[in-house]
Structure 1
Amino acid sequence: MPACNTTSLLLALLTFVPLGIARPAQGRADEAVASAIDAVTVYRDQAQVIRRFDVPASPELQRIRVTGLPAQLVEGTAYAESEANTTVRSVRVYTTTQVSPESQQKLRQLRAELGELEDELEAAEQMLAVIEQDLLTVEKLVRFSAEKAQQNLDRATLDSKTVTELADFTMQRRRLLAAELHEAQGQVQQLQEDIVENQSRQQKISAQQQTRAFEAMVEVNSPEGGWVRLAYRVNQVSWTPRYTLRGQSGDDDSRTFELQLAAVVSQASGEDWQDVALTLSTAQPDIQSAGPMLTPLRVGTAATAGGTAAVSPSPAETLAGLSGRDGQEVPGWQDQAVWQRDIGLNAEAGRRQLDELSRDLNAQREVAADAGADITDATYRVPGRIDLDSRAGGQTVAISNDTLNGELAYVVTPLLSSFAYRQAELTNTLGRNLIAGEAGIYLDDKFVGTTTLPPTAAGGRLLVGFGADRQLRTRRELLSRDSSIHGGNQRQELKVRLVVSNYHDHPVSVRLLDRVPVSNQDAAISVALSAEADDQLSDDGLYRRMQYPTGILRWDLDVPAERFGSKAFDFEYRFTLEYDRQQQIVGDQMIESIRNDYRFENSSGGGMGGMGGGIF
């Protein structure tokens, strides 16, 4: 080969290897990085955690290993995002094992104890060696003394006293050293056993106390360097709202109320959150965004068997019948859970509509199954940064402190209680919806009880009980019931007295409640309130719309001061019932009706214009 060609080839090789232009990129070796938790969003039963780490500048593909991910990580939820000059190629999460912090503490203690035992063993073995050397020295002295004694005996110059003293000394020294040797050997053996036991305990803890953990491998291209955020969801995390509502009593009806909102966070994800930006949300990460689809209600007619109408299958039976075919019917792009949800909702609604067509009911009031859900998905960002360790039990985080305007009324219901109950009627002027939550109620800085605040829309009305006032007492008396026959009907006229005793030294405005029966069968029973009592009923619009048609009576009255005993405040009213004289009044569906009405009144809270939360 010519020299010029050889030189050219060498130069080419020297140029090619450092640049690596024609060689496929192999990437940098796996590199573990320190990542810090930057932000957390806590949902009702999970949390999304965001870790951030920096990626060094490199022209090669980098494989970054993120360690220390918690055991409660929800598989399949991890993803990564980066700034513009950094590209995330892939994210892979895999399981590892780790020792719990408690076990790590135990292992550290055992290792410290092992070090002390080994030091003690080394000292004991050294002492044992010294004792053994002393015994050898004594044996040499015995042999030397015996040789000298024999020589003196041969020369007839033996000193018996000296020989005796020397023998006594050597025997005493032997006994002492033998005892020390036995003790030292026992100490060494015990220390060796303690070391073996310590090592066995360490192995047992390491083997049994290991827990599953996760690591993530993130492949990135970052020629100029940059940051990457790794997000994932974890279980064993939740939060619940906790309210504190404070009010003041007084003669004025209008007043202000202080509403404090806090969150009780349960955090047992297995990782501590230090100096994080915390957000609390009522949203559900996996909730379906599409609303239900209404399908046609197709009906027919069928002959009744023995006078009994055919019974439609329940929604559960409908879904059970479809379960075997869903896999064939659901399109590949459709969510099977949504498919079953919509079929179930339409089946339940169809059952209710068939009841409307067949049952002997004059009126029905029902709400959909999801009526009890919060009005909105709320999000609260906790100011500043916060620490939340992973541990058992709840941790309280303050969210907001607001003022609401409202009135404090007294509700008197003789049918249900002997006492008047204070009720605050508040207006949500916060500019945001209120989610439902437990509340501690304070009046005049005294704890009066707990309640559940219903979800309330911005601008809506919120009714909250403030406990019983035992200085306002009440009872109900049936004064008379007169029966008569009118044509083919029986008419009953009842006179009722509602008694209110006011032990206060000032007048009190009360909402006096009672009820008259309403008919379950169209026109089967006619109920009429006397004109005088009807004229005195409350003119509150919400009451007139929602409660008056159901037989609930409300009178807004002023009870003078110190009206009790013989001077108790009396309110009397009359009403009549008229029905076929061959029939009698029964309440065979009373419990079911009470249950349905109670659910209707309370399903949607205090923020839907009269559908619950107390409407008086």
Structure 2
Amino acid sequence: MIDLVASMREVTVYADRALVARRGNISLEAGEHELRINDLPQFLRESLRAAGEGPQGTRILNVDVTTAFHSRPPESELQSLLQELELLRQNKQLLEARQGALNDRRQWLRALGEQSRDFAKGLAQGQMKPQDCADFFRFTAEQALQDAEAAQSLDIQLKQVQGEIDAKSRELQHKQGSPDPDRLAALITVDLAQAGEFSLELSYLVMGASWHPQYDVRVQKTAEQNDGQVELTYVGVVQQFTGERWENVGLSLSTARPSLAAVLPELEPWYLNVYTPPVLRAPMYAASPHGAPRMARAMIAGQTAALSADMAEAANGIEEEVAFSVAADVATATVEQTGTALVFRAGRSVDIPSDNSPHKTTIARDNLPGTFDYVSAPALDEHVHLRATIHNTTDRILLNGDASIFLSGEYVGTTRVETTAPTETFKMFLG
């Protein structure tokens, strides 16, 4: 088995996960080899994919995943934090031991002071001199004062050390991602027909990463202007808590939803049938043989009219049900359309630690045409609000996200940008 170092090259971030791509090179002799890539995070095992390039006839025979068990996280940054944390805890134990010894001595001095009656007897019997008693009491008083100062100093040091331990523990928790020190390892079996350089590409999906859009809206406007340009900065905010640092990698932001791509919603079937009216019996009449049929015909006609109305209402109900089914089909098509992904690739390499803190990368900056007007609702609010109607003239869709507004260089507040397709307009209140 050969250990191969595969460096992280590119990361594609989705709404709730990320696709990590690694690449490593190695010179191999002809024959079958098993390559192991160590210290991988807890990724989705079924997502592991491997590809490679090598001399003619090179084949990838098998791709597998195994668990590498560790007593502590293998990453050097985490190991350094753990060592610092252990030193702080050892320092705390030493201070606590000193505090215990100091408390024992203070108890001994206290017990010694309680024997002052024995000193009085010694003076009365001539066994002790007054100067000896004075020296003893002076010593105990000075020692008690020193011990009190030492106890206060130890309390301060213990609080400081405990604060440092808490801070290091929080930092370790942020950077570690998972308290589990174990890591995964990828096992790739390759067969080379001849000796040469083999290049391996590895990719996997990992949870704990996300991104969302954010905007900066800057408006330069005078009181006389009714139209102008609005500078819109499109920013992607990335957060990751995957357990590995993304260092010097190419970053892509995707609107695809891998978790929904393989699941198609199914509608519950509605079974429709032709309406069958009930069979009506003609009423029996004992008198007026000529009038009875006319009355019966009138009643039958009335019932038939009512029946026709019921059938018409039922038909309308069927039409409404059919219309509702069509609307459900449209809703399904809308969900499927979310699979059409937009991918924003950062133009530079980025460094994003695994601490779940937000990191911004600029997607675009555009000057969009806009018109301005004033809106008021005196019955509800005495203030007049400035409103901008902005036209999305770019070829990119604007996703739903928060926006910070700057009017004439001053921060006004925050608002929301609703999802806006190219050529559409959206409204925004500027204060």
TM-score scaled to structure 2, two decimals?
Answer: 0.60
Contact 1:78 1:230 in 2 (8 A): yes
2:393 to 426, 429, 433: 429
1:104 to 76, 79, 96: 79
Closer, same or farther in 2 for the Cα pair 1:370/1:283, shift >3 Å?
same
Write the distance in 1 (CA, Å) between the matches of 2:358 and 2:244. Answer: 15
1:233 is the counterpart of 2:205: yes
Write the distance in 2 (CA, Å) between the matches of 1:110 and 1:40. Answer: 31
Question: Shift of the alpha carbon at 1:458?
Answer: 1.2
Closer, same or farther in 2 for the Cα pair 1:232/1:424, shift >3 Å?
same
2:3 to 32, 35, 45: 32
Question: Shift of the alpha carbon at 1:419?
Answer: 2.8
Contact 1:412 1:421 in 2 (8 A): yes
1:456 aligned residue: 420
Letter in 2 for 1:46: R
Closer, same or farther in 2 for the Cα pair 1:386/1:356, shift >3 Å?
closer
2:254 aligned residue: 281
Question: Shift of the alpha carbon at 1:64?
Answer: 0.5
1:263 aligned residue: 236
Write the distance in 2 (CA, Å) between the matches of 1:446 and 1:408. Answer: 18
1:466 is the counterpart of 2:430: yes
1:47 to 5, 10, 18: 18
1:447 aligned residue: 411
Contact 1:257 1:403 in 2 (8 A): yes
Write the distance in 2 (CA, Å) between the matches of 1:238 and 1:226. Answer: 33
1:63 to 21, 27, 34: 34
Letter in 1 for 2:47: T
The 5 Å alignment of 1:474-489 reads none
Write the distance in 2 (CA, Å) between the matches of 1:227 and 1:442. Answer: 50
1:596 aligned residue: none
1:520 aligned residue: none
The 5 Å alignment of 1:497-536 reads none
Question: Shift of the alpha carbon at 1:83?
Answer: 2.3
Closer, same or farther in 2 for the Cα pair 1:209/1:49, shift >3 Å?
closer
1:93 is the counterpart of 2:57: no
- Structure exhibiting the larger radius of gyration computed from Cα positions: 1
The 5 Å alignment of 1:188-587 reads 210-222=180-192, 223=194, 224-250=196-222, 251-288=224-261, 298-299=271-272, 353-354=320-321, 368=331, 377-414=341-378, 416-467=380-431
Contact 1:78 1:233 in 2 (8 A): yes
Write the distance in 1 (CA, Å) between the matches of 2:429 and 2:333. Answer: 25
Letter in 2 for 1:31: I
Question: Shift of the alpha carbon at 1:51?
Answer: 0.8
SS in 1 for 2:38: strand
Question: Shift of the alpha carbon at 1:397?
Answer: 2.0
Closer, same or farther in 2 for the Cα pair 1:418/1:438, shift >3 Å?
same
Contact 1:58 1:221 in 2 (8 A): no
Letter in 2 for 1:458: P
Closer, same or farther in 2 for the Cα pair 1:41/1:55, shift >3 Å?
same
SS in 2 for 1:211: coil
1:612 aligned residue: none
Contact 2:54 2:197 in 1 (8 A): no
The 5 Å alignment of 1:136-151 reads none
Contact 1:375 1:433 in 2 (8 A): no
Write the distance in 2 (CA, Å) between the matches of 1:384 and 1:214. Answer: 29
Question: Shift of the alpha carbon at 1:293?
Answer: 7.3
Question: Shift of the alpha carbon at 1:420?
Answer: 2.8
Write the distance in 2 (CA, Å) between the matches of 1:262 and 1:351. Answer: 49
Question: Shift of the alpha carbon at 1:45?
Answer: 0.5
2:130 aligned residue: none
Write the distance in 1 (CA, Å) between the matches of 2:22 and 2:203. Answer: 6
Write the distance in 1 (CA, Å) between the matches of 2:15 and 2:44. Answer: 15
SS in 1 for 2:354: coil
Contact 1:282 1:379 in 2 (8 A): yes
SS in 2 for 1:56: strand
Closer, same or farther in 2 for the Cα pair 1:375/1:407, shift >3 Å?
farther
Contact 1:95 1:212 in 2 (8 A): yes
Question: Shift of the alpha carbon at 1:260?
Answer: 0.7
1:526 aligned residue: none
Contact 1:260 1:401 in 2 (8 A): yes
Q: Deviations over 1:538-586 (max 9, x none)?
A: xxxxxxxxxxxxxxxxxxxxxxxxxxxxxxxxxxxxxxxxxxxxxxxxx
Q: Deviations over 1:494-551 (max 9, x none)?
A: xxxxxxxxxxxxxxxxxxxxxxxxxxxxxxxxxxxxxxxxxxxxxxxxxxxxxxxxxx
SS in 1 for 2:182: strand
Question: Shift of the alpha carbon at 1:433?
Answer: 1.6
Closer, same or farther in 2 for the Cα pair 1:244/1:415, shift >3 Å?
same
Closer, same or farther in 2 for the Cα pair 1:464/1:376, shift >3 Å?
farther
Letter in 1 for 2:232: L
Letter in 2 for 1:423: R
Closer, same or farther in 2 for the Cα pair 1:220/1:420, shift >3 Å?
same
Write the distance in 2 (CA, Å) between the matches of 1:277 and 1:440. Answer: 27
Relative contact order, higher structure (CA 8 A, sep 6+): 2
Question: Shift of the alpha carbon at 1:272?
Answer: 0.8
Q: Deviations over 1:105-139 (max 9, x none)?
A: 365459989xxxxxxxxxxxxxxxxxxxxxxxxxx
Closer, same or farther in 2 for the Cα pair 1:450/1:228, shift >3 Å?
same
Contact 1:378 1:435 in 2 (8 A): no
- Paired-residue identity, %: 28
Closer, same or farther in 2 for the Cα pair 1:53/1:444, shift >3 Å?
same
TM-score scaled to structure 1, two decimals?
Answer: 0.43
SS in 1 for 2:368: strand
Contact 2:211 2:237 in 1 (8 A): yes
Question: Shift of the alpha carbon at 1:351?
Answer: 11
Closer, same or farther in 2 for the Cα pair 1:112/1:391, shift >3 Å?
closer
Contact 1:263 1:398 in 2 (8 A): yes
Letter in 2 for 1:104: Q
The 5 Å alignment of 1:582-597 reads none
Closer, same or farther in 2 for the Cα pair 1:238/1:63, shift >3 Å?
same
Letter in 2 for 1:272: R
Write the distance in 1 (CA, Å) between the matches of 2:15 and 2:236. Answer: 11
Contact 1:237 1:269 in 2 (8 A): yes
Closer, same or farther in 2 for the Cα pair 1:97/1:302, shift >3 Å?
farther
Write the distance in 2 (CA, Å) between the matches of 1:78 and 1:59. Answer: 26
Write the distance in 2 (CA, Å) between the matches of 1:44 and 1:418. Answer: 41
Write the distance in 2 (CA, Å) between the matches of 1:356 and 1:286. Answer: 30
